[in-house]
Amino acid sequence: MRLSPLLCLAPLAAAITLDTSSVSSIESATSGVAYDMMTFYTGNQTGQVPGLLPGSLNCNPNVLGTYCWWEAGAMWGALINYWQYTNDTTYNNVTIDALQFQRGPDNNYNPPNQSRSMGVDDQVFWAFSALDAVEANFPEAGGDNPSWLSLAQAVFNFQYDLWDPLTCGGGFRWQVFSFNAGYNLKNSISNGGNFQLAARLAYITGNSSYADWANKVWDWMEASPLLQTDANTGTFYIWDNTDSNDNCTSVQNFVWSYNYGTMLSGAAYMYNYTNGSDLWMNRVETILNSTYSLFFPQQYGGNIMYELECEKSLNCDEDQKSFKAYLARWMAVTSILVPNTAAGIKPKLAASAAGAAGQCDGGDNGRSCGLQWFTQTWDGTTGVGQQMAALSVMGSNLMTESMRPLTLRTGATSKSNPNAGSDAPSNPTANRKPITTADRAGAGILTILMVVIVVGGSAWLVY
């Protein structure tokens, strides 16, 4: 039987207090928040699946307490960040186990048990966590396990073939397999996520092929309805999705904080990779200015992070409750990669962290975190997303220049494998035949058949 570290390292239950000017105070607060987040995790218990949160095998984020596979992947990244910020190794082993167990048979975060809802964005959040491990020199799993960098490279190689020039002139569909609902959509988080993945791989490896690909994805998004600038207000909108069924002429006018964080950090990595090009500096500033106006509203003082579409009415689903976690982390990374943004970013992260701490006084233990950081009255909600968001925004205040994301030239030790997970050529963007819609549908059917074949050995893979 696996014993969780939670059983023997439980902090005393008390409302979270935070002094954002004190390193020890932030470390103490994040320790409590991380512990409470991990009380939701059961994957290290007998009979459970390592790496998964409750509900991950039958994802429906509209059901309270049901967490999709991608959010579990993001949570492990938050714990890598927590280790980087605090040097607390409590969760390292369970994080390593989870990230390796869920890598799938091709070592590219496409496990068969997730085929019926596998999105490009789902995969990429697991890749982000692997990249967090690379950039922080998080301990490798060792043995015959693939390196963190090779896992992220394998996701890139797999997604390369999903680029769809047959509709809308390019872009990624939301879903990997055509039998999944939403296959017709091309959304910002999938395209922006792949953009960030490519940008970070360029930054880490120095391989210009990844940078070329990042440019290609940005250019397609910019030409699509997903990225638009309001001529009157100057607001830069990153809209939620467009539809390949109408050749991407329509767009869903919803804005989410994680889309802005995803694109912001990708642009920041590209700025750094290009040695400070004016083009990427302008893109960083454009995204950041609209991030401030949309997600740090003046009605709450202008420095408190806020999920615009759902937070005030408390109708965020379980996915959306976690979105502020990613914006917080990626704003902190941007402040390091693009130093002249730090003066604007740091006060917002500090005020948001203080607001988050003010929400961490609810639940049965008296310190569960809610979502509405603009009020000191607990909003009555609890969950993984709320805990992760509070953990990330508090911890981001510990990020310093010494935690600058590492590259293979500045000390990252994770082994590179450009051909990881596939028969990809050494140049990851060489001329390879794009997968067709028919090919992709066939691959999905094959995946289902594979799942059925192994039912006798692994019942949890059944669909």
In this predicted structure, what is the pLDDT of residue 116? 85
Report yes or no: 352 and 309 within 8 Å, Cβ to Cβ: no
Report yes or no: 304 and 356 within 8 Å, Cβ to Cβ: no
Distance CA 344, CA 194 (A): 27
The reply to whether 452 falls in a domain is no
- pLDDT-derived band of residue 141, with 50, 70 and 90 as boundaries? very high
Distance CA 208, CA 195 (A): 14
The reply to whether 6 falls in a domain is no
Average pLDDT over residues 53-80: 95
The reply to whether 342 falls in a domain is yes
What pTM was computed for the model? 0.90
Is the pLDDT score of 444 beyond 50?
A: no
> Phi/psi at 185 (nearest 5 deg)?
-90, 145
- In the chain, the amino acid numbered 138 is F
Looking up tokens 């909003």, which residue turns up? Answer: 379
In this structure, what CATH number is given to the domain that contains residue 186? Answer: 1.50.10.20
Is the pLDDT score of 453 beyond 70?
A: no
For residue 155, give both structure tokens: 């996701």
Looking up tokens 């059925």, which residue turns up? Answer: 452
Distance CA 292, CA 257 (A): 10
For 391-447, the DSSP string reads HHHHHGGG--GGGPPP-TTTT--SPP-TTTTS---SSTTS--PPPPHHHHHHHHHHH
The reply to whether 441 falls in a domain is no
For residue 379, give every residue at least 6 positions away whose Cβ sits within 8 Å of its Cβ, in sequence order, or none: 314, 359, 362, 370, 371, 372
Predicted confidence (pLDDT) per residue in 318-355, tens digit: 999 999 999 999 999 999 999 999 999 999 999 999 99
- Tell me, what DSSP letter sits at residue 175? B
In this predicted structure, what is the pLDDT of residue 460? 35
Query: Residue 300 sits in which domain range?
Result: 23-432
In this predicted structure, what is the pLDDT of residue 13? 58
The reply to whether 321 falls in a domain is yes
User: Which residues on neighbouring strands pair with residue 243, listed in sequence order?
Assistant: 185
Mean of all residue pLDDT scores within the chain: 90
Average pLDDT over residues 435-453: 37
Is the pLDDT score of 130 beyond 60?
A: yes
The reply to whether 385 falls in a domain is yes
Residue with the bigger pLDDT between 75 and 453: it is 75
The reply to whether 160 falls in a domain is yes
Average pLDDT over residues 54-68: 92
For 199-268, the DSSP string reads HHHHHHH--HHHHHHHHHHHHHHHHSTTEEE-TTT--EEE-SEEEGGGTT---B----HHHHHHHHHHHH
Report yes or no: 157 and 123 within 8 Å, Cβ to Cβ: no
Domain total of the chain: 1
Is the pLDDT score of 44 beyond 60?
A: yes
